[in-house]
Amino acid sequence: MGANSRVGKAADRNAGPHLRGYLEHLSNERRLSRHTVENYARDITALLAASDIRGVLNAVHLNLREDFTVPHVALRVWHADGHGDLPEFKPLSAGAREFAGSLAHPHCSAHALADTASLFGEAGAHLRSFSYIPLRDGEVFGLLALASEDPQRFYPEMGTLYLKRLGDLVGAAVARHLK
């Protein structure tokens, strides 16, 4: 056995625990990604199957709570178009609308921003993490706000790719029933 072979085996033994840990991490990430994709598929199916705006709104609330275990979901749309009886079409402060319009992508925070804590009713004072997702159909026409008592659920440094896709999906489904 040559010297290079012995050095290689020693390096493999030393790297083994680290490599195993890394492979376990990748495997867990893959499982989480597969789970997320399955949840998105269910959400897409539910939104496509909705025959009216009430069905879309029910699907959004149910799927975010059940599939993604988001404990607090608030959705607001600026244009009531005959749907003023639904809570999702209640007026939103000018500051909150301006904030939503300024978002180029989802924004996560440890604090409620722009008069949005009230969207969550009495629970608003107890929430410790928030995600704000603009709803667009060309222009911003609504806001999907997610929140949790868990301060680590939504945080400023987290990736927002899935949240952006969620906003695209919900925005398209809602807009389809506003026209």
What structural domains and CATH numbers belong to the chain?
Answer: 3-176 (3.30.450.40)
Tokens standing for 32? 């989480």
Cα gap 173→170, rounded to integer Å: 5
Q: How far apart are CA 145 and CA 64, in angstroms?
A: 11
What's the pTM value of the predicted model, to 2 decimals?
0.79
Mean pLDDT, residues 38-64: 86
Tokens of 179: 């026209």
pLDDT of 1 above 70: no
What whole-number distance in Å separates Cα of residue 83 and Cα of residue 102? 25
Per-residue pLDDT of 102-154, as tens digits, reads: 999 999 999 999 889 999 999 999 999 999 999 999 999 999 999 999 999 99
Angle (nearest 5°) at CA 171 between 168 and 172: 85
Q: Tens of pLDDT along 63-101?
A: 999 888 999 999 999 987 778 789 999 989 999 999 999
Pairwise CA distance, residues 79 & 116, whole Å = 18
| Predicted local distance difference test score (pLDDT) of residue 174 | 94
Tell me what pLDDT residue 46 has.
79
Helix (H, G, I), strand (E, B) or coil at 70: coil
Distance, first Cα to last Cα, the chain? 76
What pLDDT is stored for residue 79 in this prediction?
Answer: 80
> DSSP 3-state helix, strand, coil percentages of the chain (rounded to 5)?
55, 15, 30
With tokens 């603009």, the residue in question is 134
- The average pLDDT across 159-175 equals 91
pLDDT digits (tens, 9 = 90+) for 7-45: 444 444 455 555 555 555 445 455 556 666 777 677 787
Residue 140: beta bridge partners?
Answer: 136
